[in-house]
């Protein structure tokens, strides 16, 4: 039997009903950054499946529907992205459909992404936001509106 090597990534998921679940997402070994950090956002955006496997901290396996995922908290910080861009970060206040509000910053990596609207209007469903240096991956489909400074 052939198995694709995976990296276990500890995360906290926030679902549409505001339930939060801690556990592990499994990302293929080819989805890592230059510094070796797993790219959960790439996994969520590139994998065509609607459901992904997740193991809760309690040991239960679930198949999570991406459409009902509001946010993924990762243990990764913003040190790597700070080194990749000379552009200043953009402050955002994101208001979600489940009445949750998240404050954070996004780091533009290209000059064409100098405005918050350029970043938020990209094609990928899942985008990265940093809150107090911690990486959050948010689902654009559940954003009602954003305040940008």
Task: Answer whether residue 1 shows pLDDT above 70.
Answer: no
| pLDDT reported for residue 2 | 66
| pLDDT reported for residue 94 | 96
Q: pTM value?
A: 0.91
| Mean pLDDT for the chain overall | 89
pLDDT category at 52 given cuts 50, 70, 90 is: very high
In order of their start, the domains of the chain are: 6-70 (2.30.30), 77-148 (2.30.30)
| pLDDT reported for residue 67 | 94
Q: What is the pLDDT of residues 66-89, one digit of tens each?
A: 999 999 999 898 888 888 888 888
Distance from C-alpha of 5 to C-alpha of 101, rounded to nearest angstrom: 36
Phi, psi of 147 (to 5 degrees): -100, 125
DSSP code for 89: P
* SS3 assignment, position 16: coil
| pLDDT reported for residue 65 | 96
Sheet strands (E) in the chain: 6-15, 20-28, 51-56, 61-65, 69-77, 90-96, 101-106, 126-131, 134-139, 143-148
Q: 16 vs 3, 21, 30, 68, 138, CA distance in Å?
A: 32, 12, 29, 5, 12
């Amino acid at each position: 039997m052939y198995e694709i090597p995976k990296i276990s990534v500890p995360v906290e998921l926030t679902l549409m009903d505001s339930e939060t679940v801690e556990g592990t997402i499994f990302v293929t070994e080819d989805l890592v950054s230059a510094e070796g950090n797993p790219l959960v956002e790439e996994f969520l955006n590139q994998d065509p499946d609607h459901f992904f496997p997740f193991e809760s901290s309690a040991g239960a396996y679930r198949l999570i529907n991406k459409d009902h995922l509001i946010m993924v908290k990762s243990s990764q910080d913003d040190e790597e992205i700070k080194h990749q861009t000379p552009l200043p970060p953009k402050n955002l206040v994101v208001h979600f459909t489940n009445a949750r509000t998240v404050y954070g910053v996004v780091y533009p990596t290209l000059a064409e992404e100098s405005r918050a609207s350029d970043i938020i209007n990209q094609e990928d469903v899942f985008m990265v936001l940093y809150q107090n240096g911690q990486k959050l991956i948010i689902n654009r489909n559940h954003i009602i509106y954003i305040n940008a400074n």
